[in-house]
Amino acid sequence: MTIHNIWEAIITFYEPTLEIMTLWSFGLPLFVTVIAVMFICSQKLKGPFNLRALKNAAFPTEQYDHASSRVDMWNGIILLLLGFPLVGVIAINGIAIAEQVGSYFNAEFGPREILMTSTGLIVAVQFLVYFLSVDFVGYWVHRWCHTHPLLWHLHKPHHTAETLTPWTLFRQHPIEFFGLNVIPAVVGGAFTGLVLYATGTQLHPGMIVAVTTTAYVAFFVIDVFSHVHIPISYGWLNRIVLAPVMHNLHHSMEPHHWDKNNAVILTLWDWMFGTLYLPKKGETWRWGCNDEEYGDNNPHRTLKGFYIDPFKTLWRHLKEGESPNL
């Protein structure tokens, strides 16, 4: 392999991330404007109204300069460099699984009658099935991360965040990051393959474009805004779509909020399976894991602790048979 080939492989690997960074370089002013509007919609600005006051309210220093936020930022940079390019690969592999599952059933049981001929309908059905199945499995994987002791060791660092900024989206242990993306994509792909067989259709090229766009735009945008400190609500739609206030509450350290609002995109699953919590008017909470691991006692105040502590607590759990704090 020549240097040229190696360089082309590197460029190809990072191309999705470079495209996202290019989009956000143009979208950054819009992002800042949206955050400011969210703040204005969610609460009244105290004191004189000017750009400095709006900036300080929408992007408070105590949030962005906090030790917790610095861990989020550096881990986010690492994930952007190494992890996010693989999200697109994972999504494409999920689609490949769909095609393989559909082909397998066709070979084993014979082709089915074609139920759809419209290109638009075929793409829409395939996309919706994949999107809903991935989001549904994502909900359950996230929920299990809270209820299964071994999975909680890796997910817990996400909940020791004491501030919420867009960087908190990236507050995922690298091992958890890959698991949360791989499992839904694989299961969603398999389920989509069953639908391909049942409808007598093949995977449409437009489906690939739709899924990769969703993986890099829809999921990303919803995740970013759900980790902003501004508790914006969608009103009645909070029962359907993840609003910032719903995920704000998911990060609460108050015991009665634990394990609530596990949605990735659709809070419909929380509503259906009993984990939905609609915040009461005027209700407040603190962000973090628990009182014992807060502030100076937070085991994930540094990047080293963020990466190593989950393995130390997991080893202690396996060695001593103790139950971790869920």
Residues 26 and 157 both lie in one domain: no
pLDDT band at 135, cuts 50/70/90?
Answer: very high
Per-residue pLDDT at 271: 96
Closest by Cα among 226, 249, 246, 228 to 237: 246
CA 216 remoteness from chain centre: 11
Supply φ then ψ for residue 172, to 5 degrees. -130, 135
Residue 85 lies in domain: 66-320
Mean pLDDT over 134-144 rounds to: 94
Residue range 20-68, pLDDT digits in tens: 556 555 555 555 566 666 665 555 555 666 677 767 777 788 888 899 9
Q: How far apart are CA 2 and CA 17, in angstroms?
A: 24
Per-residue pLDDT at 36: 61
| pTM higher than 0.75 | yes
Per-residue pLDDT at 205: 82
Whether residue 216 lies inside any domain: the answer is: yes
Residue range 92-116, pLDDT digits in tens: 677 888 888 988 898 888 888 888 8
Mean pLDDT of all residues belonging to the chain: 82
Only one residue has tokens 């958890």, namely 176
Residues 134 and 193 both lie in one domain: yes
3-state secondary structure string across 171-198: CCCHHHHHHHHHHHHHHHHHHHHHHHHH
Whether residue 109 lies inside any domain: the answer is: yes
Of 59, 93, 109, the position where a domain reaches its end is 59
Residue range 171-205, pLDDT digits in tens: 998 888 887 878 888 899 999 999 999 999 888 88
Residue type, 220: F
Q: How many domains does the chain have?
A: 2
Residues 11 and 99 both lie in one domain: no
Whether residue 325 lies inside any domain: the answer is: no
